[in-house]
């Protein structure tokens, strides 16, 4: 019996990894910091790498022409139709808003729109199509209290939203350091 207990002396219980190798953790590199910030902003808006890179590069081209490139990038991201639908309170998340836009739930200035990346302008009117107002998802949202940003105006009775201004960096307050995003793409 004494020999049997020595057989299992070095065997670890299931699910426990050997702790022989410990990873060395040093200072976080500048590259990693900028990568993490870029990923956070990209994932916040639910964009693919290709889409996000295009937005950043187009914004970088405007450097020198606009006062604040960080604010310009946020304006472009915020004025996407799927984001506006989310901000107006028509959906629970940006992914849900993108699906609703893709399934042609909305009209912009009276025209059916099913492109989530469509850029809205000031004075645009976003309305829910009449035949979609009876959907369960939409009926539930009528009762939900949602605070809309200052640059949008929502009329819940008509299920209509108006773009009345421009989004600002201070109002949006993304949880990332936008200059690090530009630094990532400037390499």
The percent of residues above 90 in pLDDT, for the chain, comes to 64
Read off the pTM: 0.80
Cβ neighbours of 124 (radius 10 Å): 18
Asked whether the predicted pLDDT for residue 56 surpasses 60, the reply is yes
Q: Do domains 30-79+175-187 and 81-166 have the same CATH topology?
A: no
| Domain residue spans of the chain | 30-79+175-187, 81-166
Q: Quote the pLDDT of residue 133.
A: 77
- Distance between CA 152 and CA 89 in Å, rounded? 11
**Beta bridge pairs of residue 107:** 112, 127
Confidence band, pLDDT 50/70/90 cuts, at residue 161: very high
**CATH of segment(s) 81-166:** 3.10.290.10
Q: Quote the pLDDT of residue 117.
A: 96
* Strand arrangement of the beta sheet that strand 160-163 belongs to: 111-113, 106-108, 125-128, 160-163, 152-155
| CATH 1.10.10 holds for 30-79+175-187 | no
């Amino acid at each position: 019996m004494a020999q049997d207990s020595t057989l299992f002396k070095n065997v670890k219980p299931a699910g426990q990894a050997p702790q022989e190798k410990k990873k060395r953790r040093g200072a976080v590199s500048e590259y990693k910091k900028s990568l993490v910030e870029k990923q956070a902003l990209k994932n916040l808006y639910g964009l693919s790498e290709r889409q996000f890179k295009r937005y950043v590069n187009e914004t970088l081209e405007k450097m020198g022409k606009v006062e604040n490139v960080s604010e310009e990038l946020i304006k472009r991201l915020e004025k996407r139709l799927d984001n506006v639908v989310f901000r107006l309170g028509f959906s629970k998340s940006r992914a849900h808003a993108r699906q609703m836009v893709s399934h042609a739930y909305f009209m912009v200035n009276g025209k059916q729109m099913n492109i989530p990346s469509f850029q809205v302008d000031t004075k645009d009117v976003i309305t829910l199509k009449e035949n979609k107002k009876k959907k369960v998802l939409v009926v539930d949202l009528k009762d939900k209290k949602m605070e809309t940003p200052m640059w949008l105006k929502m009329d819940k009775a008509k299920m209509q939203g108006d773009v009345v201004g421009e989004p600002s960096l201070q109002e949006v307050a993304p949880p990332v350091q936008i200059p690090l995003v530009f630094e990532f793409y400037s390499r």
